[in-house]
A and B are shown apart, each in its own frame.
Chain A
Amino acid sequence: MRIQVRARNRAYDFEAPEGEKLLFAGLREGVDLPYECATGTCGTCKARLVEGELKDLWPEAPGKKHLKAGEGEFLMCQCAAAGNVTAEVSKYVYAMDPGVCMPQAVGGKIAAVRHLPGDVAAVDVDLDSPIDFDAGQYMALETPGVAGMRGYSMVNFARGTKRLEFVIKKKPGGGFSEWLFAGERAGSALALFGPLGKATFYPNLAKNLLCIAGGSGIAGMMAIVDRACQESYFNQYKGHVFFGVRTAKDAFYLDELAGFQARFAQNLAVTIALSDEDVPASLASRYPGLRFDRGFVHEVAKKTMAGIYGNIRAYLAGPPPAVDASIRFLLLEAKLSAENIRYDKFS
């Protein structure tokens, strides 16, 4: 099917096979169409149908609340072409930069599910073919029989890899996570699309890193810190990682974080923030390399970082209230410029 997307600055033509979402078809062709969640929630990928017919693959997608009824608006991440389609996107759209990791559709299966504290599971996925991705990116995941895709950030960082690691939190009403937690899922087939997301870290950044993550938002931060450690980035630059959970029982990845910290003890500081309880002495003594504090993760980060915001790039992930509160203090009090505050908005 021939697709034409008319953007504010120019038009793009590309082919889309039957059943493929228009957003994915365009991204695969190197057209940097607007999106954020890519999974039917945020509404960023909305377009207007000029000509042709669409097939809505998920009519109940929550992101449809962002569409103007009766004006032909649709979500590119949920609609496929049923014939040639011309659509309009009221934004400037550019070709992707050369050298970025090109998004693609890839099949895979769940290799292992390891249950972590706090209704969280570490999920390893083996892909049918290797992909490249950047630290901080995510994949859209889907399993047959569950409507809609879900975005999860990669925990590991590797080039040309067939193994992806994810952290998935059980969310009531979250189709994919409820399916995952409802039974034995090792060996189950998945459809994936990616890599996606722009909250990426490259070692040529040459800035000190500040990572603020709540709950399963730690996933992308693990990849960023992993890549930075692989490149010995913390020999030259400082890293400040803040990981917020409710109680000591909900914490995970502490061994991995302590391992990163021990390799670059001079420059990498990792703080675990507990929002709902005082820090148990046993926890602090078990992880002498990690710091522990009581409070919401953005509050602990704000208190700890006061006065040391020189040359900082911040990465944020987690529950929207924690991300929004972090943005607020980083802009208004830390006076970071907007381009040094990176996050992907999923809602």
Chain B
Amino acid sequence: MTVKRICLASDVPTNEMREFTTDGGDKLLVANSGGEYFAVQAICPHQDVPLCDGFYDGCVLTCHQHLWQWDIKTGEPVGGIAEAPLERFAVFVEGGEVFVGTRGALNVGELFSGLSESTLSKLQGLAKAEEHPAGGALYQAGDPADDFFVLDSGRIEFQIGRDERTSPAGFMLRKGEVFGWAALLDAHPTRIASARVLEPSRVLRINGKQALAVLEADPASGYLAMRRLAGLIARFLAAPGAR
């Protein structure tokens, strides 16, 4: 984790928020919730809208454009409209100054953010970081589904069907998005889609069986991860009428 100084604690009054740009040029939003500081991505994951223009009551952050809402402490969607969590950053306050550390893709991810620290670090231990050039394939339909993937950067596209008869089945481009999750399901031995690398991409590769063993050993975290997995699958099921 790289840690950067962002601002003075007094720059962000109680129950208010401010946008800052790091010396690396990244924008992030620092929010003060009753004296506790949180840092999240500065731009709404829906459309390119600055969240600092939104509403913040000290607990819930609302984008003013379409009312996507999040719990500032967890980055999780609330209010029933937001379809994606916010990327959160680790925050340290020392000597009246706010420092922010970037989180790895696993902590950002839609499956694992908010899991216990020990379980997260075990999963991190299972994760192999891989870099793939554009044009390659991570897996093909019909391949054994042993591993799942967490996107760190880049863009992965999916195709269903085989040989001549394939059709596009979506794409992933957000840090923390999880794909190849068949590896986390019982009795699901093969890939139903193929995954192609569209832009140079960094991914974390994690063995499904080993990850399940880690999650089983920490049922609270495991339950949260499985609940999120169910939601993830439902998001793709909720697109009926494939032609």
Question: Which residues of A are interface residues toward B (Cβ below 8 A)?
Answer: 4, 6-13, 30, 44, 88, 90, 92-95, 324, 327-328, 331-332, 337-339, 341, 345
Contacts and interface: CB of A to CB of B under 8 A. Distances in A.
A92 B62 contact: no
| Most chain B beta carbons < 10 A, residue from A4, A13, A327, A337 | A337
Given A30-B241, A324-B64, 4 more contacts: A11-B170, A44-B47, A95-B241, A339-B80
A345 B69 CA distance: 17
Nearest to A5: B168
Which 4 A-B pairs rank lowest in CB-CB distance, beginning with the nearest? A338-B67, A338-B79, A11-B168, A339-B80
A341 B239 contact: no
B57 A332 contact: yes
Contact of A9 (B67, B81, B236, B241): B236
Interface residues of B, number: 29
B71 to A, nearest CB: 13
B170 A9 contact: yes
A328 B53 CA distance: 12
Contact of A8 (B55, B67, B79, B170): B170
B171 A338 contact: no
A192 to B, nearest CB: 26
Given A8-B171, A11-B169, A332-B57, A338 B239 contact: no
A338 B169 contact: no
Contacts of B173: 8, 90
B168 A10 contact: yes
A339 B241 contact: no
B242 interface: yes
Contacts of B148: none
Interface string B30-65: 000000000000000001000000010100001011
A337 B239 CA distance: 26
A13 B243 contact: yes
B54 to A, nearest CB: 10
B68 interface: yes
A339 B111 CA distance: 24
Contacts of B68: 338
Given A8-B170, A9-B235, A30-B241, A328 B55 contact: yes
B217 interface: no
A10 B235 contact: no
A331 to B, nearest CB: 5
B239 to A, nearest CB: 5
Contacts of A327: 55, 64, 67
B62 A331 contact: yes
A6 B171 contact: yes
Contacts of A339: 79-81
Contacts of B243: 12-13
A90 B177 CA distance: 14
Contacts of A9: 169-170, 235-236, 239
Interface in B177-195: none
A41 to B, nearest CB: 14
A30 B169 CA distance: 18
B80 A338 contact: yes
A136 to B, nearest CB: 17
A345 B65 contact: yes
Nearest to B77: A338
Contacts of B67: 327, 331, 338, 341
Given A6-B168, A332-B55, A338 B240 contact: no
A344 B163 CA distance: 44
Nearest to A12: B243
Given A332-B55, A337-B79, A345-B65, A94 B238 contact: yes
Contact of A11 (B64, B69, B167): B167
A94 B239 contact: yes
A311 B97 CA distance: 43
A95 B62 contact: no
5 contacts: A11-B167, A12-B243, A90-B173, A94-B238, A331-B62
Given A95-B240, A327-B67, A10 B55 contact: no
Contacts of B169: 9-11
Contact of B83 (A4, A90, A92): A92
Nearest to B174: A8
Nearest to A342: B67
A90 B198 CA distance: 14
A331 B55 contact: yes
A68 to B, nearest CB: 9
B82 to A, nearest CB: 8
B46 to A, nearest CB: 8
Nearest to B173: A90
B243 to A, nearest CB: 6
A327 B66 CA distance: 10
Contacts of B55: 327-328, 331-332
A12 B167 CA distance: 10
Interface in B203-243: 235-236, 238-243
